[in-house]
Amino acid sequence: MGKMMFAILCSVLIGSVSGAATTDSTATTALPGSMLFNTVDVHPKDGVISNAEFHKAAYIYDLDGNGTITETEFVSKYQSALDVSQSQAVASFAAIDFNRDGVFDDKEISAVFNIFDVNLDGQITLTEFQTGFAHIASGHGSNN
């Protein structure tokens, strides 16, 4: 996965928990991505992000609560959460709308989850999350 794509995926999660703070005093927030990880790992707080937790974080973009995340909803929430331009938000949506139907749906959320879940064991560990952040921070990426 290219570094731009991973950065977008991370910022989608950041946008979904914008303003939230972890109350876990054991969190290792000095490590890349750990505060965000601990914010998404909420129920249960077990040191892994489940598919359900990941979906819940993504669905904060479903502004009308109808079970789909349209480009309009995503762009609106993404712009306000991350203070980016409309064109940046539209580009970010395009990067995760894999089938180009104008909707970020369960299939695409699951595909994004599987990108983070490197060993495909059905959960994202802090190490997997931090590895992705370190990969991006080092300037490595396969394409973008």
- Give average pLDDT by consecutive 10-residue segment, the chain, 144 residues: 57 56 41 71 88 89 92 91 85 88 93 85 89 52 39
Per the structure, the complete domain to which residue 40 belongs is given by 3-15+30-137
Q: How far is CA 91 from the centre of its chain?
A: 15
Q: Give the per-residue pLDDT at 125.
A: 93
The answer to the question of residue 124 being in a domain is yes
Phi, psi (degrees; rounded to nearest 5) at 84: -115, 165
Overall pTM > 0.85: no
Q: In this structure, what CATH number is given to the domain that contains residue 100?
A: 1.10.238.10
Beta strands at 48-50 and 123-125: parallel, antiparallel or unpaired: antiparallel
CA–CA distance, 92 with 112 (Å, rounded to integer): 13
The answer to the question of residue 103 being in a domain is yes
Number of domains in the chain: 1
